[in-house]
Amino acid sequence: MRNLTLLTDLYQITMGYGFYKHGKHEETVTFDLFFRRNKMITYSIAAGLQQAMEYLLDWHFDEEDIAYLRSLNLFSEDFLEYLKNMRFTGDVYAVREGEPVFPGEPILTVKAPLIQAQFAETAMLNIINHQTLIATKSSKICRATGGKGVVMEFGLRRAQGPDAGIYGARAAIIGGCASTSNVIAGQKFNVPVAGTMAHSWVMDYDSEYEAFKAYAESYPDNCLLLVDTYDTLRSGIPNAIRVFKELKAKGHKPKGIRLDSGDFAYLSKKARKMLDEAGFPEAIICVSGDLDERLISSLMHQGAQIDSWGVGTKLITSEDLPALGGVYKLSAVLHEDGTMTPKIKLSENSEKVTNPGFKSLYRLYDRESGMAIADIITLHEEEISDDEPLTIFHPIDTWKRFEVKNFRAERLQKTIVKDGKLVYEFPALMDVQAFSKAEKAKFWEEYLRLDMPQVYKVDLSEKLYSLKTQMIADIHAANKDGK
């Protein structure tokens, strides 16, 4: 396993040195990782937690790391010696991978000595931002099919490097993809892999028919033929049907065809008719090539006859939104006597004002329908009672109030790491996908739809809201008095 301890920004280490010199490095603090609202993402699918924890719990500054830091001439020898022995000793609370999450919610909370919690920032954001982004894109793409057919992740050759390809494939599976073309991801995460042939296979033979026949001989029970190398309707599909009939005569069942270019709506409908009339109604039609959720949605509305979707570039790069924009902010200092000093960041943009204190996150479900009603961000020690009605309100437009009755409350953040030890068992990746699918089914379609979704309610508990408004008032008053 690679030592990624120095996968960080320099200022994390320079701040750590400053904390160390001023005796603040061991004070216990909490940081929250969350993403802000933007016009492209109104919800996300949490992903990357397992790799983030693998990084966190594998911290070790080896001799090469220490020698490099020494060469920067920024740090004292006693600090370098401190780093040499530093391991993560704190706690991590997080929502499970695959969970739908919304802007402003603490996806992950770190409670640890200041130097450790601060040092964790860069790598945690790098890992969770990327996988959450791709899992979210995958979820949107898979939902666009309306449940017709399956989506295959085909993006490795267009990913921004090996890690983006491997962990992007992992995230795509969480979001809903049935398989990946990425063999090393299939091996590493024990997920289905898919793929057949490229145009080069067809071009290498003297004729399209010979190419198809040779492939069918190689894979008689898994024969899916790429039919658009020359002329899809006049050559590709007729030659595929000819080979399929030969396979059928030998007792084999052809799998189907793949289209990689052209008007997928028109070609798929023509292909379906041709295959059905030839006696192959069970042969699938797979398409690939510059697909995303909007094109897939459009094709579905046009009545395209597509059973399988191979999605590459626009999925693995999240082409329309290249970064999630998740942030990691200090929220509290915890003292040995059990008291807390909450911390808040202010901004002229209300969306960027952070929520102070050591917090937790609850989701409210309607007891009759089982559907999600709203999420509540609370202080960590708070318990949401579902024995009586609860009034929730918009954290900015507080006049928007809503009384929730007959509900069930679930704390979404689970304890993942305690005192530097992993206490959570990560499920297999396909189980994470199944969990995510089940959780998404608990949301009404209007919250997850592609265009102009209804804004899902994410509110603050009255205790947290009061703390936040009082802190804002106190800071403004102090600044007004010149303090």
pLDDT digits (tens, 9 = 90+) for 216-234: 999 999 999 999 999 999 9
**Tokens (6 digits) for 96:** 């499970």
Name the average pLDDT for the chain: 95
Among the CATH numbers 3.20.140.10, 3.40.50.2020, 2.60.120.10, 3.30.70.980, which is that of 10-119+325-362+411-480?
Answer: 3.20.140.10
Mean pLDDT of 191-212: 97
pLDDT at 61: 97
pLDDT at 1: 66
pLDDT at 482: 60
How far apart, in Å, are the Cα atoms of 17 and each of 334, 377, 425? 21, 33, 34
Q: H or E stretch including 404?
A: strand 401-404
pLDDT digits (tens, 9 = 90+) for 410-451: 999 999 999 999 999 999 999 999 999 999 999 999 999 998
Asked if the 196-288 domain carries CATH number 3.20.20.70, the reply is: yes
Domain ranges of the chain: 10-119+325-362+411-480, 196-288
How far apart, in Å, are the Cα atoms of 453 and each of 39, 326, 428, 447, 450? 10, 21, 31, 5, 7
Lowest mean pLDDT among 80-84, 89-93, 328-332, 337-341: 337-341
pLDDT at 264: 98
CA distance 201 to 183: 19
pLDDT digits (tens, 9 = 90+) for 38-78: 778 889 999 999 999 999 999 999 999 999 999 999 999 99
Q: At what angle do helices 77-84 and 10-21 cross, to 10 degrees?
A: 110
pLDDT at 40: 80
Mean pLDDT of 95-114: 97
**Tokens (6 digits) for 132:** 């959450």
Please count the CA atoms within 13 angstroms of the CA of 28 that sit on its side-chain side: 16
pLDDT at 31: 98
pLDDT digits (tens, 9 = 90+) for 339-392: 999 999 998 888 889 999 999 999 999 999 999 999 999 999 999 998 899 988
pLDDT digits (tens, 9 = 90+) for 118-176: 999 999 999 999 999 999 999 999 999 999 889 999 999 999 999 999 999 999 999 99
- Higher pLDDT residue, 398 or 50? 50
pLDDT at 401: 84
